[in-house]
Chain A
Amino acid sequence: GAGVSQSPRYKVAKRGQDVALRCDPISGHVSLFWYQQALGQGPEFLTYFQNEAQLDKSGLPSDRFFAERPEGSVSTLKIQRTQQEDSAVYLCASSLGGGNEKLFFGSGTQLSVL
């Protein structure tokens, strides 16, 4: 696609519900990143994929967070048993290669947990 696409744009969940956030990176991009952005803060790293391999998941805040990229393109970030502190904007980004390259972000999914 022309850019990184994320869906849904907004998600409201009741505390305890499971949610799944989708990211469709730029076609052909090898690297895919998930970031979490709280209000008024900079994005914080969650996890990194190179093709289908999850090379770094050190930023995932708890075992309720799980990410996958099974075919090396589309990725899903799943949050189980959502809590109010999970409310944030979840940003997906991709880059062409596996190294240090220009990063392109999607518009994000704004998650509100009530």
Chain B
Amino acid sequence: GIQVEQSPPDLILQEGANSTLRCNFSDSVNNLQWFHQNPWGQLINLFYIPSGTKQNGRLSATTVATERYSLLYISSSQTTDSGVYFCAAGAVRGYSTLTFGKGTMLLVSP
């Protein structure tokens, strides 16, 4: 099946800093989503982005499907951005089941 790798595994930022999280995937995808898991375990869908660029407030994401990677940008980070960010990809072949990466744990300090 498709392999999903995320980097960096951990990231510590000061409030106000910007960051870029990367997701590489091993096969052609027709489904790529970014999630934020908060400290209470709730997974929040940030973006559905199989290709192109989207922005939502301080967050934006870009997927370059031909080069098999996606990037999540966080600008002007806040302490509430802390948590684990997961990338999940669905291969073109098969059903639309998503394979998750291991996540990037982000800690934003005041």
Q: Point out residues on A near B: beta carbons under 8 Å.
A: 31, 33, 35, 41-45, 48, 55-56, 59, 89, 91, 93, 95, 98-105, 107-108, 110
Contacts and interface: CB of A to CB of B under 8 A. Distances in A.
B102 interface: yes
B45 interface: yes
Interface of B: 30-31, 33, 35, 40-45, 48, 50, 86, 88, 90, 95-103
Nearest to A93: B43
Contacts of B88: 42-43, 103
B33 A56 contact: no
A110 B40 CA distance: 11
Contact of B90 (A41, A100, A105): A100
Contacts of A55: 95
A42 B103 contact: yes
B96 A99 contact: yes
Contacts, number: 58
Main secondary structure of the interface of B (DSSP, over half): strand
Contact of A56 (B35, B95, B102): B95
